[in-house]
């Protein structure tokens, strides 16, 4: 069973999985320094070295998925990026995670950090851009659900073609008149105008490579 109370963590267990924000991993682990068992964290950007001098067996169990309390995800299809302090520990982690997922990958800390960075762009930044689009419509009392069909088609195209081939829009066409009009509409939101300008510029840079 899981707990958020350090005093309720059992003294003996085969595995201890620390599921806390990246910046809290070291502080939580330090409370249990020297405890037996295999200790794992689930943070995408925290090096396996955070465990050194604390435990004899340790590793990383990172699910490459957007997780929230209010939504269920298909763990069987979720990629798990796994790393162990030894081959023996790695085998034990693969056996543990293999109970609920077959999408397992042995990934070291430097590679996992790069994958985590890519996921931030693909997931977190994409989500924020959709939020901006929804806010633009909400401010004019337009229905943000108007965006739903284009969002679904966008991700279908990305999966089918790859993101570069799926790219469309005024920046790709170098339609400067349309981009100028959009920038004018964003005058009341200078940060969004900066995002629009910078991302449009980068789309053109990728197009011209």
Encode pLDDT of 57-83 as tens digits. 999 999 999 888 888 888 999 999 999
Answer yes or no: are the C-beta atoms of 78 and 72 closer than 8 Å.
no
Would you give per-residue pLDDT tens digits along the chain (209 residues)?
688 898 999 999 999 999 999 999 999 999 999 999 999 999 999 999 999 999 999 999 999 998 888 888 889 999 999 999 999 999 999 999 999 999 999 999 999 999 999 999 999 999 999 999 999 999 999 999 999 999 999 999 999 999 999 999 999 999 999 999 999 999 999 999 999 999 999 999 999 98
Residue 101 is encoded by which pair of tokens? 């997922």
- Integer Cα distance of 91 and 28 in angstroms: 25
Task: Look at residue 71 in the predicted model and tell me its pLDDT.
Answer: 87
Residue with structure tokens 């682990």? 29
Closest CA to 48 of 107, 4, 120, 97: 107
- Integer Cα distance of 44 and 137 in angstroms: 34
At 200, is the secondary structure helix, strand, or coil?
helix
Answer yes or no: are the C-beta atoms of 112 and 62 closer than 8 Å.
yes
* DSSP-derived secondary structure letter, 186: T
- Integer Cα distance of 59 and 93 in angstroms: 8
Closest CA to 98 of 135, 133, 61: 61
Cβ neighbours around 43 below 10 Å, total: 20
* DSSP-derived secondary structure letter, 25: H
* DSSP-derived secondary structure letter, 106: E
Task: Look at residue 69 in the predicted model and tell me its pLDDT.
Answer: 81
> What's the predicted TM-score (pTM) here?
0.90
């Amino acid at each position: 069973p899981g707990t958020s109370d350090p005093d309720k963590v059992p003294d003996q267990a085969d595995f201890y999985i620390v599921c806390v924000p990246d910046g809290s991993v070291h502080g939580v682990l330090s409370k249990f320094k020297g405890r037996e068992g295999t200790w794992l964290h689930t943070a995408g950007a925290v090096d396996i070295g955070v465990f050194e001098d604390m435990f004899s067996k340790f590793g990383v169990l990172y699910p490459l998925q957007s997780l929230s309390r209010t939504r269920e995800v298909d763990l069987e299809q979720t990629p798990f990026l796994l790393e162990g302090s030894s081959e023996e520990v790695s085998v034990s982690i693969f056996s543990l995670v293999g109970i609920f997922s077959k999408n397992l990958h042995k990934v070291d800390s430097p590679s996992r950090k790069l994958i985590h960075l890519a996921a931030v762009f693909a997931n977190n930044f994409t989500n924020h851009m959709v939020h901006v689009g929804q806010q633009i419509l909400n401010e004019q009392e337009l229905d943000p659900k108007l965006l739903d069909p284009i969002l679904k088609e966008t991700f279908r195209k990305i999966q089918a073609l790859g993101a570069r081939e799926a790219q469309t829009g005024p920046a790709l066409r170098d339609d400067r008149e349309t981009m100028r009009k959009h920038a004018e509409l964003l005058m009341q939101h200078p940060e969004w105008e900066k995002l629009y300008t910078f991302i449009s510029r980068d789309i053109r840079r990728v197009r011209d490579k």
